[in-house]
Structure formats: structure tokens, C-alpha cells
């Protein structure tokens, strides 16, 4: 056998093993035997570079390092699905489908709704040529190199079809997620929130070797583009894809009525906790592709499919203790310490209890059995106390009277639920204040994370945010976590932050009630820090969208001697104290925009800057005065409100086209 034939044969054998292991979950060789075959192929390809192939299984280990992801214009839009939450809403969808089909009764396919990241896979003449993210549905990002590392994705398929595009959901299995977080905990890295975020973050790594280590998987659930004779129904199409080597939607079934579809959905809900991957619902689709064509789509969703979302998952656990945290503005927040329990894809051991009134209203006691859930499947919260399970050993909790960080007496202002520490020397406030100052939404000092700030305070190198601008490289090099290069990188990042516009500084100061948008308006109006410090409440109230409490908070903050010393110290260090010049007469002048969802290439802050640099205004809520809503992936209630009010909805591409 010649070298070329040997290489081709090895590739074929390895891909068969990949299919058996990653698609069929039925390995036919040991890991040792598989690794030996792979090493043999790697050596043959290295010594015979003229026989290289972009779709060789050796490419699955990663290696390509990109500077950025290129944009991909989807030939077939990757639409999102409408959501329903009840049997009645399912039946309403069924009625709409029947009306659209002039009374014909459709067959439906019911599938699990995998909780991951939607991607497109494109094949030309049987070879995998490109993979991309959904983005805003029209434009995504090219993540081909990262997708090649997922061994369940076939790099070659045995078909004469000239072009085939399929859609799938990339996910991280629960076990892989737990292993990844265990590794991150050992190395001191922050833990990832849930498998979905972990999968999304892995696919957006510019270095494909990182994605290769993350043990991602995929289920293909739709044919986006194929010849007309490829399949007549969705279920037939999935079976054909399965025969070509794709890992397709698990445990799907075809039913002849919505009542039967609902029973299948209930079965999926019962199996949810025992699955090896996360799901957040079930999907019901019209099976006939011809009927789908007749039903069509809206600008946002197909009329032939709907997602049934399961109610927020609730779990019972024990509230072991209540601890308080001192925030950067002095607010004392009680938090529940829970017996760890897995909820909605991640292990929860803490939940906020908001304030004293919340604890009293729910009669929460230490030792209680409680029900918890994640608000919006994100933030852990205590839903209720299972009082019938009390044993009598539970303890009533009383909020502290003095700050746990500095010992000063705590105060509760009239009309507020929050308990506060008013001490200006509170170490907990100082720590969180500096962390906020360096954060991305404020001064954006890269490399200055929570642990580094805490370390600098412990080493007595900084006492406040102004001290950051006086740090020297030689002070950092001897510290743990630092070396020559990392120390210089942090000094450079701090130096770069000095030139930030005034609104970033204002936001970073952490003035109560003054967020990023308020800081932008104030900086633009007063132009420099001295004008702001000299302003009265009445002067500040002249700014649109600035209320009385915000104005009073600003005046109170700058009246403090400690604040003025801080500002003078920053001035002396060369920190910019003037506002960025706003665009006058820009192409977006007089237009109000609202941003919602995840944009394909721009961060929210970058899109806002583009709008404001061109004379436009960005608002946080949709109203009749809104001119445009810029919608990205997973746009939520703001998009719905825009549709209701008839506000124009545009994509990131539309926005960039305007400017």
C-alpha cells in the first residue's frame, strides 16, 4: 500500500471510530488503540505535507489562532422560535396552523429543545466548508476552526449533493461542564455559570486549541438548505442526515394531533433531570416540508414551529445560614447559604435574600427547608419556605446592627428597605469600590480583576482608586501572580485608562444612583469635572432624564472632602477630567435607539458609542418616542414591545449602514 492510500485508509478508520464513539455512543476500540492510530496519521501527514487535507481528523485537535472572526451572511435566515408556556397556548398555535393550511390537519414532530448555541454547518460536494453562529439570524460569525474540533460533526459525508446546509445546537454535556469547572477552581480561575455559557464561550475562542479541550457536542435539528428531492418531511430528512453520519435530535417522535404532542412534551419534562445534557423545553414542528412552505414565516419566527418552555425549575434544599455582604455603596445585602443543589444547569449554593423586609415577609429562618429557582434561569432566589417541614430547631434571623467589615453602626433611611454602612473608611466598601472603578463598564483596566485588587490592598499598595495611578512596575513584580511582563501589562493598562473620557470616570467613582447612562448625560452637559463639582441640585436637574434623587446624590458626593482629595490626586496623576466631544449634526442626530439582545460583532457599549458619535441617543426602554430598536440574538421583551408599538426594528448591519 502506498503512502497516500495508507493515509486515506487511516483517515477513514479514525472517522468511523469517531462516529461510533461520539454519535452512536458505542466505542469499538480502546482509547489506547485510538490514540495510536491518530499518532500514526499525524506522523504520516507531517512527513508528507503534500497530502494534507483540511478535513483530516487530525484537524480536530485545533491549532488555528485567529485575530478575529469574519462575518457570515446566512443564505437561509436562522430564525428564532416563538415561545408558549401552557397547553392552551399550544392549542392556539395548532389552530393558527390549521387555518394557514385551510383546515388540513398536520402531523407534528416533537423534539427536545437543547440548551446550547445554535450553529449552521455548510457542506459542498460532501466536504465541510464552513460553520457559523446564528448571530442576529441574518449575519453570524465564522467559527469553522472551532467547530472542526467537535468530533460528532462529520468533516466528510458520503453524498453527491452539491450543497447541504444544516442547523444544530452545540452544547456542553453536564459531566464535561463539571470537569471544566473543577479544573478552573484548582487553577484559581472564576467558575462558569452554566453549560450553555460554557459552550458559547468555548465556540468564541480565537484559539481553536482551547475549544478542542472543552469536550463540546452537537445535535443537528434542521435542514436549512438542500435539493428539493432530499426529503419530503422533516422526520425523513433527519433520518437521512443520521445515515450520513450526523448526530441528530434525540428521542423525537411524529404525532397526528396537538393533544398527543402535549403528552410527549410532558414525557420530556419528566426525563429532564436524568439527561446527560441540559434542555429548556420542547419544540413542536410541522413535519411536512411542503406544508411548511405554505405556512411561511414572519420577519422573526417561522409559522410552522413553536417552542414549549418548561416553567422555572424549582429544587428543595436546606438554608444552612445567612451571611451579609457589604456593597460598594454601603448597602448590606443578606445572602442565603444553601446545601448545594443543581438547578437549571448549574450548582447553586448561594441565593440573595435582598433585604430585611424580604426575610420577614417570607418568614425565612436558618435551618428551613426552602424551594429555590433561578429568576429568568439566571439568578438564584428563594421562592418559598416549606414551613410544614419545620422541626422546631430553626432560628429566626436578625440583621446586624453594626457593619461586619468596619464595626460602625448601620442605618436605614426612611422610605428605603436597605440597611447601610455610612463609614467612609469601611474596608469592604473600599475593596468593592476599586473593583467597580476598574470594571469594563467604568475605567476598563484590563488585568485588574477582583483577586488582584484584593492583593494590592492586602499588600498596602493602594487604599483608594486614585492610588492605582501611582503604582510602579517594581512594586508589582515581587507579588504572587506577577512577573515582568504581567506587571508591565497592568501598568500599561492603567496608563491607558488615564485618557478615558469623563463619563467613564464618573461611572467608575460609583456615585449612588449614577450609572453609565446618567454619567454620560452629566459629563456631556457640564463638560469637565470642575463644573460638575460646582453644580447645584437645580443646575443638575436641567439635564433631561436626571431626577431629583440623582441630583442630590451627585451634590452630596462631591461635597465630601474625601471626594475632592480623591479627584485632586487623580488630576495630579494625569487622569483626564473632560468630556468626550459629542457629534453635532451627525447622521443620527435627533434619533433615539434602543439596544436589545446579543449583537453579532459589536459589544453593547461599542454600538452605543457608534450611535452617540453620530449624534444619536441611546435609551434603556422602548416607547413611542423610540425611532429604532437594534435587535440581536435572543432579543427579549424590548423587541416584543417595539413590535407592539410599531417601532422600526433593525439589525447591527442596518445600523452600520446608516453611519
Catalytic annotation, pick one of 4, 40, 59, 113: 113
CA distances from residue 647 to 2, 611, 641 in whole angstroms, order as listed: 66, 17, 8
Inter-residue contact 322 to 334 (CB < 8 Å) = yes
Which position has the grid cell 491549532? 63
Q: Are strands 617-619 and 592-596 parallel, antiparallel or unpaired?
A: parallel
Cα 646 vs. chain centroid, distance in angstroms? 28
Contacts of 427 (CB under 8 A, 6+ apart): 405, 406, 457
421: Cα within 13 Å, side-chain hemisphere: 27
- H or E stretch covering 100: helix 87-100
Long-range contact pairs involving 179-184 (C-beta distance under 8 Å, separation at least 24): 179/215, 180/214, 180/215
Give catalytic status of residue 463 as yes or no. no
Q: Tell me what percent of the chain is helix, strand and coil, each rounded to the nearest 5.
A: 40, 25, 40
DSSP 442: T
Give, in order, the Cα–Cα distances in Å from 263 to each of 255, 259, 269, 281: 10, 7, 10, 13
**In Å, what is the CA distance from 328 to each residue of 102, 114, 116?**
61, 38, 34
For 468, the 3-state DSSP assignment is helix
Distance CA 266, CA 494 (A): 55
Residue 293 CB burial class (10 angstroms; 0-12, 13-18, ≥19): exposed
Can you count the helices (H) and strands (E) in the chain?
A: 24, 24
End-to-end CA distance of the chain: 61
Half-sphere exposure of 402 (CA within 13 A, CB side): 4
Q: Strand 127-133: give its sheet, edge to edge.
A: 127-133, 117-124, 163-171, 217-225
Q: How far is CA 439 from CA 272, 487, 516, in A?
A: 37, 18, 12
* Relative orientation angle of helices 174-186 and 195-203, to the nearest 10 degrees: 80
Helix (H, G, I), strand (E, B) or coil at 395: strand
Torsion 551-553-559-562 (CA) sign: negative
Strand partners, 432: none
**H/E segment holding residue 140:** strand 139-141
d(CA 639, CA 170): 25
Positions marked active-site: 113
Amino acid at each position: 500500500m502506498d503512502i497516500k492510500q495508507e493515509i486515506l485508509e487511516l483517515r477513514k478508520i479514525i472517522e468511523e471510530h469517531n462516529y461510533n464513539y461520539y454519535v452512536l455512543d458505542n466505542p469499538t476500540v480502546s482509547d489506547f488503540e485510538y490514540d495510536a492510530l491518530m499518532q500514526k496519521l499525524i506522523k504520516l501527514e507531517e512527513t508528507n505535507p503534500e497530502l494534507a487535507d483540511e478535513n483530516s481528523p487530525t484537524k480536530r485537535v485545533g491549532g488555528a489562532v485567529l485575530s478575529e472572526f469574519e462575518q457570515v451572511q446566512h443564505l437561509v435566515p436562522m430564525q428564532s422560535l416563538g415561545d408558549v408556556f401552557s397547553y392552551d397556548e399550544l392549542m392556539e398555535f395548532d389552530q393558527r396552523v390549521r387555518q394557514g393550511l385551510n383546515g388540513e390537519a398536520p402531523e407534528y414532530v416533537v423534539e427536545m429543545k437543547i440548551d446550547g448555541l445554535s450553529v449552521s454547518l455548510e457542506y459542498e460536494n460532501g466536504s465541510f466548508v464552513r460553520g457559523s453562529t446564528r448571530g442576529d439570524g441574518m449575519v453570524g460569525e465564522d467559527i469553522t476552526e472551532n467547530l472542526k474540533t467537535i468530533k460528532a460533526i462529520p468533516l466528510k459525508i458520503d453524498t453527491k449533493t452539491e450543497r447541504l446546509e444544516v442547523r444544530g445546537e452545540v452544547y456542553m454535556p453536564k459531566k464535561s461542564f463539571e470537569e471544566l469547572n473543577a479544573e478552573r477552581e484548582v487553577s484559581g480561575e472564576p467558575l462558569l455559570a452554566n453549560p450553555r455559557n460554557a459552550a458559547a464561550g468555548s465556540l468564541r475562542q480565537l484559539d481553536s486549541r482551547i475549544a478542542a479541550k472543552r469536550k463540546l457536542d452537537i445535535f443537528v435539528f434542521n435542514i436549512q438548505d438542500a435539493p428539493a428531492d432530499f426529503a419530503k418531511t422533516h422526520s425523513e430528512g433527519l433520518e437521512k442526515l443520521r445515515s450520513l453520519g450526523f448526530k441528530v435530535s434525540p428521542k423525537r417522535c411524529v404525532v397526528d394531533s396537538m393533544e398527543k404532542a402535549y403528552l410527549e412534551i410532558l414525557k420530556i419534562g419528566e426525563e429532564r433531570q436524568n439527561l446527560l445534557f441540559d434542555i429548556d423545553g420542547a419544540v413542536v414542528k410541522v413535519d411536512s416540508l411542503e406544508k411548511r412552505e405554505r405556512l411561511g414565516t414572519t420577519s422573526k419566527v417561522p409559522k410552522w414551529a413553536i417552542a414549549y418552555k418548561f416553567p422555572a425549575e424549582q429544587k428543595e434544599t436546606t438554608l444552612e445560614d445567612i451571611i451579609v455582604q457589604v456593597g460598594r455603596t454601603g448597602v448590606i445585602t443578606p445572602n442565603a447559604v444553601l446545601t448545594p443543589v443543581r438547578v437549571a444547569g448549574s450548582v447553586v449554593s448561594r441565593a440573595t435574600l435582598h433585604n430585611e423586609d424580604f426575610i420577614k415577609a417570607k418568614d425565612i429562618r436558618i435551618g428551613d427547608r426552602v424551594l429555590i429557582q433561578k429568576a429568568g434561569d439566571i439568578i438564584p432566589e428563594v421562592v418559598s419556605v416549606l414551613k410544614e417541614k419545620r422541626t422546631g430547631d430553626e432560628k429566626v434571623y436578625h440583621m446586624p446592627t453594626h457593619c461586619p467589615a468596619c464595626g460602625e453602626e448601620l442605618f436605614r433611611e426612611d422610605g428605603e428597605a436597605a440597611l447601610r454602612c455610612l463609614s467612609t473608611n469601611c474596608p469592604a466598601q473600599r475593596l468593592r469600590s476599586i473593583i467597580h472603578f476598574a470594571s469594563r463598564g467604568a475605567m476598563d483596566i484590563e488585568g485588574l480583576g477582583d483577586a488582584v485588587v484584593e492583593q494590592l490592598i492586602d499588600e498596602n499598595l493602594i487604599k483608594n482608586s486614585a492610588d492605582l495611578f501611582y503604582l510602579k512596575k517594581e512594586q508589582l513584580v515581587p507579588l504572587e501572580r506577577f512577573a515582568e511582563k504581567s506587571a508591565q501589562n497592568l501598568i500599561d493598562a492603567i496608563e491607558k485608562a488615564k485618557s478615558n473620557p469623563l463619563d467613564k470616570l464618573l461611572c467608575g467613582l460609583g456615585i449612588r444612583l449614577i450609572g453609565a447612562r446618567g454619567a454620560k448625560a452629566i459629563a456631556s452637559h457640564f463638560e469637565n469635572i470642575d463644573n460638575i463639582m460646582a453644580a447645584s441640585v437645580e443646575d443638575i436637574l436641567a439635564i433631561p432624564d436626571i431626577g431629583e434623587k440623582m441630583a442630590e446624590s451627585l451634590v452630596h458626593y462631591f461635597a465630601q472632602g474625601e471626594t475632592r482629595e480623591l479627584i485632586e490626586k487623580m488630576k495630579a496623576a494625569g487622569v483626564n477630567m473632560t468630556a468626550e466631544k459629542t457629534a453635532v449634526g451627525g447622521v443620527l442626530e435627533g434619533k433615539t435607539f434602543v439596544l436589545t439582545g446579543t449583537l453579532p460583532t459589536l459589544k453593547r457599549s461599542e454600538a452605543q458609542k457608534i450611535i452617540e458619535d453620530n449624534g444619536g441617543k441611546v435609551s434603556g426602554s422602548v416607547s413611542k418616542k423610540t425611532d429604532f430598536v437594534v435587535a440581536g440574538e435572543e432579543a427579549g421583551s424590548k423587541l416584543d414591545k417595539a413590535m407592539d408599538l410599531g417601532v422600526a426594528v433593525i439589525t447591527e448591519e442596518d445600523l452600520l449602514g446608516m453611519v
